[in-house]
Structure 1
Amino acid sequence: MLQAIGLTSTPRRGIPAAVDDLTFEARPGRVTALLGAPGSGKTAALRLMLELDPGRGVTYFRGRPMHRIPNPASEVGVLLGDVPGHPARTARGQLRMLCAAAGVPAARADELLELVGLAGLGDQRIGTLSLGMDRRLALASALLGDPHTLVLDDPAEGLTPREACWLHRLLQARAARGGTVLYTTTDPKEAARAADHVVVVDGGRLVADQDAGDFSRTRLRPRVAVRTPHAARLAAVVSREARASRRSVEVVTEAGGRLAVYGSTCAEIGDTAFRHGLPVHQLADEIGDPGSIVARGGTSPAESAGSTERADPADPANSGGPANRADRAGSDSGAGPRDPRPVAKALGPDPAPPIRRRPARGPLHPLRYELRRLLGVRTTTLIMTAVLVVSVGLSVLLARTGHAPLPKVLAAWPSLLPLPPAAVGAGLLGALSFGDEFRYPALAAGRGTVPRRLGLLLAKLVVSAGVAVVLALAVVLVSAETLRLVYGHSWVHVPPNPVSLGASWVALTVGCAWAGLFAAGVFRVTTAGVAAVLAVPVLVVPLVQKVLMAPGSRPVAGLPARFRELMWPRWPHETDRWVAVVVGVVAHPVGAALALSLSVLVFAYLFTSLHGRARWRSQSAAGSGQAS
């Protein structure tokens, strides 16, 4: 069961609250429609229920609020807006990545593609899907964890009648299995036809809470729509003739010279207008819109229009205005607007606790999620292929001149370039690791970007480092084989210090990948990550060189031996070589600059993370205070 109690959004300055003390419930085994005109507060209510926006109130999903559910994907399936994801990712790849985030087996992706009718389109790119296919994929994303409750925001928007019929059959099947389904809609006819229960909201407040049958009987009454330049005069004439003939007729004046006449026919209205010489520009039968018959301020629209209506003793629901009849019908059926006071007493002195905006949880399997994020698009393959092609070309050109040393030739690092192509490519892949997350959120829609959780950060560091190492080794091996093919076997040989050179080469590519990753995480854009990578040799290296080459600076020779003297227990003498390699890498101007840049980016990342959490908490507290 879903219970929403006292939902109240935080009002903005000069703008009333989008949701004002909204209380209703959606029972298991039934499809509940949250009905309202655009701007009535439906989506805002869903965001409050899911703790995406600050405010007041509480929502229980089978007795637990959202932040108390250990694995939300297995309890609540959410559809807010379009399905998130990189447009170049396939539908199957997107669902498999979300399976890793939700902690469900990858085989669940194929099952859902079959369920939503996309089994033959699993390899289709998200960016090429039509609107109907996109909504089907979004529904599959909501069903990944086989949740008990579905919360969908206008799922039939933009669908054809056939697709909408399929969607409603699927929702009815979910409810028949004992699940709870809540969806929003702006179409009263659709709500009456497809839902078992209808909750009507207007201006963020509850208007009606009825079964679908009672809603259809009391809210969707036939009416005659009239448009005339003399609306007030025609309304008075129709009301006067209805009183004279003792007929139950109600006239509601609407904007733009429109009248809604209940209890009459087009022929009667046309004859009346003809007898009194009143021009009529429109005369048509319609099904009543609940938004036009909602009583506001305790006065029915009939009273506000100055019309009269006599009670029909054959129908007890016809006593009073249409809004009064609807509320009475809902009350008689046991599904009318509920008094929140008993709920308030059960909750204690504060029936509307503050709703704090809580960030989304990280993926349950972060390493698997990150691998699928990296390999799910062609960008990774294209970048690595471009790096290999450029590196091989530069290596051949450098070997042809004969002036560059062998390590520079194998790394394809001419003196004119600030960094070799492999380092730039690793930095770009590292920047995309966080940059794509901010551009194409991969978790639940409406949850914003992927949160900065430690597990996800470690997974990104491990994966980006692994890709950098693979790229560095591939460049050296492919360049060496190409040089042997072009210039002969005798040209390429093993350098005298391969361990030190290999460690420096791997450290450079991994450091660039991490620099791009942290910079993109701090500035939330891929370009910032690439700029941070290029800033290391262009800006930081000259500064480090000035410090290291300053007059009076002392060398660090003999540092491993002095470290061994301080350590207890003593490490073996073979370790001195590895310590010397590490010290040599850090002592190099590029290594020192990269280490310095990484240190600054790590501290900036931690600072922005803590600052963001503190600001989020202060905003939530401020929003709760304003709502109270």
Structure 2
Amino acid sequence: MIQAIGLTSAARRSRRNARPAVADLTFDIRPGEVAGLLGPAGSGKSTAVRLLLGVEAGRGFTLVDGCPLNDLPHPAREIGALLGDVSGHPRRTARGHLRMLCAAFGVPLSRADEMLHLVGLDAMARERLGAFSLSMDRRLGFAVALLARPRALILDDPARGLPPREAAWVHDLARKHAAAGGAVLLTGRDPRALARTADRVIALEEGRIVTDEPAEDFARTRLRPHVAVRSPYAERLAGLLADDGAEVVTGTGSRIAVFGSTCAAVGEAAYRHGILLHHLAEETGRDGWPAEPDIPQPARARKAPPARLIAHRTGPERPFGYELRRAFGIRTPWPAAAAALLGSALGAALMTRLGAVPTSSLRLVSGWATELPLPAAAIGAGGLGALSYGQEFMYPALAPGYGPEPRGPRLLAAKLVVSGAAALLLAVLATVLDIGMLRTVSGAARTFEPWAHPAALAAWAGLAVGCAWAGVLAAAVFRTTALGLAAVLAVPVIVVPAVRATLGGHATGELADAAGALWSVVTGVSQDGSAVSGALRFVGQPLFLALVLSLTGLVGAYAASALRGRRRGRRSTALRAGAAATLTGKKG
């Protein structure tokens, strides 16, 4: 069973007399039951769901069989959620998206095809998500929610905007999950549809629970035709009408609902007794909720556990499988790599056409034209690295709070390994392409053998991998691809001149540019034959220092943001635990 205890959102600071969107919500979701969370637009249904899942910051506590949600080893296997549209890359196929999440949840890849069949998307498995209609997107959302075989489903108004046939399918799937022993929380605005589907209806008004009762009782007492009345003397009028045999339900404020009567009869009664009416109309459905609802207490109210820092099981369960499917399941990396190789070849051709074939082995193997701040392949490697987290935040397929976290250390390690391997492959292809271009166009370079210069190749490989890692870390910190790539380009454009200006005359040699810095490292080792001398010259070069400083700064920024998130989570856990302890103490 899932228990929501004291869920309260943060007050909206942008408004005067700010108040929380939801306040002090306490309810439970029982196995084998569909609980309907009902309310008009703006009543706080979505906020309540997001608080329950830990997606939105606030106060309160969520227990799953008495265990806090954050303590669960595999929360996605306990709760599957559908919150709005599917957050997937529009160019990824439906099967590719589900298989990527199979690696994240640690389930077999065959589960993706099972879910596509269950939701009726077999024929659309190869279609891209950007071409999906609203109905197809909701069906895929159900497939994602059920992928890890969760015991509970949290569905935030899944029938909104759907035609009647699709809406009926959504409600039928929720009923089937409950019939199999699962727990379902279904939110909606239509009281009749929710009363037909749910076993229990929890009604919200202005962020507070106003009724929690079985669906049969709700339909019998709340969905009948009635006369809605608003009057400053509503209590007196209610007593007069009740004496005449009418069934009267007292609502909040100055509202009452009169059953078994008509507007004419109610109006005549008010006129005879001199009672002022502000509103008189015949309505069906929402009819004024009880002012003091009798909300049943959770069946197993437990004392909240003490707050402590949880060692989150962050990241996908199979991070390398997830990252490979995320990175290469769409076409975006291939044009980026092709553009980098084309730029490298054009750089090599430009050097030969201008008669500026360099004597530096590093420039030859990397196709590094003097007009570029970095080799084109290194820029491409940085771009591929930046895409790894830029797309993660632009199309958040992972579910922070109740699922794998996108910034977990295991996933970061997987992204560094995959981006580093891609950078090495890009460097090798660029070298082969550049040397072929130079040998074809320039006779001066025909005798150049790249494998005879291992130091230059090692420096080129290190530069490519360093740029890729800088892109990964910068995109993780800034959460965008553009800023990740900008951080890579900032190394030779901004950081290197700053380091050179700081070193001044203490630098080991006056270098014209960053390429000369790397080449002096190689020649210093080969000429002296001393590893110590070569290391000293290497450490003294502005590009080396700039790249190391940039990577160190990005690692520090990433660690600081992760630590800040943990501290925030610790404070949130303490607040939630305190609120839960207070509530459960009052109940006891």
Deviation at 1:12, TM superposition (A): 6.1
Structure 1 residues 556 and 86, CA, compared in 2 at 3 Å: closer, same or farther?
closer
Match of 2:153 in 1: 150
State the AA in 1 paired with 2:32: G
Structure 1 residue matching 2:186: 3-state secondary structure: strand
Deviation at 1:97, TM superposition (A): 1.6
State the AA in 2 paired with 1:90: T
Structure 1 residues 114 and 339, CA, compared in 2 at 3 Å: closer, same or farther?
closer
Structure 2 residue matching 1:550: 3-state secondary structure: helix
Deviation at 1:516, TM superposition (A): 1.7
Match of 1:387 in 2: 340
Match of 1:295 in 2: 290
State the AA in 2 paired with 1:399: T
Q: Is the 8 A contact 1:434 1:517 kept in 2?
A: yes
Deviation at 1:270, TM superposition (A): 10
Alignment of 1:534-545 (within 5 A): 534-545=489-500
Match of 2:350 in 1: 397
Deviation at 1:382, TM superposition (A): 1.1
Match of 2:296 in 1: 338
Alpha-carbon distance in 1 for matches of 2:560, 2:251: 59
Alpha-carbon distance in 1 for matches of 2:497, 2:401: 45
Deviations 1:432-480 (A, max 9, x none): 2222222222212776994432211111110110111111111111233
Structure 1 residue matching 2:505: 3-state secondary structure: coil
Structure 2 residue matching 1:209: 3-state secondary structure: strand
Q: Is the 8 A contact 1:84 1:445 kept in 2?
A: no
Q: Equivalent of 1:514, from 457, 465, 469?
A: 469
Q: Equivalent of 1:248, from 229, 234, 246?
A: 246
Match of 1:264 in 2: 261
**TM-score, normalised relative to structure 1:** 0.77
Match of 2:3 in 1: 3
Q: Equivalent of 1:524, from 475, 479, 482?
A: 479
Q: Equivalent of 1:466, from 403, 411, 421?
A: 421
Deviations 1:13-57 (A, max 9, x none): 744444444333322222221222333333333233323345554
Match of 2:514 in 1: none
Alignment of 1:147-546 (within 5 A): 147-224=150-227, 246-248=244-246, 250=248, 261-265=258-262, 286-289=283-286, 292-296=287-291, 298=292, 337-339=295-297, 347=302, 361-405=314-358, 407=361, 408-444=363-399, 450-485=405-440, 491=446, 493-495=448-450, 497-546=452-501
Structure 1 residues 578 and 521, CA, compared in 2 at 3 Å: closer, same or farther?
farther
Deviations 1:379-412 (A, max 9, x none): 2111011112222222223223332226434422
Alpha-carbon distance in 1 for matches of 2:252, 2:285: 13
Alpha-carbon distance in 2 for matches of 1:131, 1:26: 28
> Is 1:80 the counterpart of 2:79 in the alignment?
no
Deviations 1:183-206 (A, max 9, x none): 111211011111122222334443
Moved more, 351-360 or 58-67: 351-360
Deviations 1:247-284 (A, max 9, x none): 426598999x9996531357878999999xxxxxx998
Structure 1 residues 269 and 9, CA, compared in 2 at 3 Å: closer, same or farther?
closer
Deviation at 1:62, TM superposition (A): 3.2
Deviations 1:535-561 (A, max 9, x none): 211223234445667169599999989
**TM-score, normalised relative to structure 2:** 0.81
Alpha-carbon distance in 1 for matches of 2:531, 2:173: 63
RMSD: 4.3
Structure 1 residue matching 2:173: 3-state secondary structure: helix
Deviation at 1:416, TM superposition (A): 1.6
Structure 1 residues 580 and 126, CA, compared in 2 at 3 Å: closer, same or farther?
farther
Alpha-carbon distance in 2 for matches of 1:237, 1:548: 88
Alpha-carbon distance in 2 for matches of 1:467, 1:498: 22
Structure 1 residues 448 and 82, CA, compared in 2 at 3 Å: closer, same or farther?
farther
State the AA in 1 paired with 2:343: V
Match of 2:513 in 1: none
Structure 1 residues 355 and 249, CA, compared in 2 at 3 Å: closer, same or farther?
farther
State the aligned residue count. 563
Structure 1 residues 463 and 586, CA, compared in 2 at 3 Å: closer, same or farther?
farther
Alpha-carbon distance in 1 for matches of 2:39, 2:163: 21
Match of 1:130 in 2: 133
Alpha-carbon distance in 2 for matches of 1:214, 1:529: 57
Structure 1 residue matching 2:55: 3-state secondary structure: coil
Alpha-carbon distance in 2 for matches of 1:409, 1:454: 37
Structure 2 residue matching 1:470: 3-state secondary structure: helix
Alpha-carbon distance in 2 for matches of 1:25, 1:254: 24
Deviation at 1:70, TM superposition (A): 1.1
Alpha-carbon distance in 2 for matches of 1:355, 1:580: 51
Deviation at 1:74, TM superposition (A): 1.4
Alpha-carbon distance in 2 for matches of 1:202, 1:138: 28
State the AA in 2 paired with 1:32: A
Match of 1:62 in 2: 65
Structure 1 residue matching 2:80: 3-state secondary structure: strand
Match of 1:44 in 2: 47
Q: Is the 8 A contact 1:500 1:581 kept in 2?
A: no
Alpha-carbon distance in 2 for matches of 1:593, 1:28: 58
Alpha-carbon distance in 1 for matches of 2:68, 2:251: 44
Deviation at 1:579, TM superposition (A): 8.6
- % identical equivalent positions: 48
Deviation at 1:592, TM superposition (A): 3.5
Alpha-carbon distance in 2 for matches of 1:111, 1:404: 58
Match of 1:105 in 2: 108
Structure 2 residue matching 1:25: 3-state secondary structure: strand
Alpha-carbon distance in 2 for matches of 1:127, 1:581: 54
State the AA in 2 paired with 1:134: D
Alpha-carbon distance in 2 for matches of 1:180, 1:233: 43
Q: Is the 8 A contact 2:524 2:537 kept in 1?
A: no
Gaps of 5+ in 2: 273-278, 510-519, 583-588
Structure 1 residues 159 and 169, CA, compared in 2 at 3 Å: closer, same or farther?
same
Deviations 1:566-593 (A, max 9, x none): xxxxxxxxxx899988777655543333
Match of 2:37 in 1: 34
Match of 1:331 in 2: none
Alpha-carbon distance in 2 for matches of 1:185, 1:398: 66
Gaps of 5+ in 1: 276-281, 299-322, 328-336, 562-575
Alpha-carbon distance in 1 for matches of 2:418, 2:477: 19
Structure 1 residues 354 and 9, CA, compared in 2 at 3 Å: closer, same or farther?
farther
Q: Equivalent of 1:611, from 557, 564, 576?
A: 564
Structure 1 residues 233 and 510, CA, compared in 2 at 3 Å: closer, same or farther?
closer
Structure 1 residue matching 2:67: 3-state secondary structure: coil
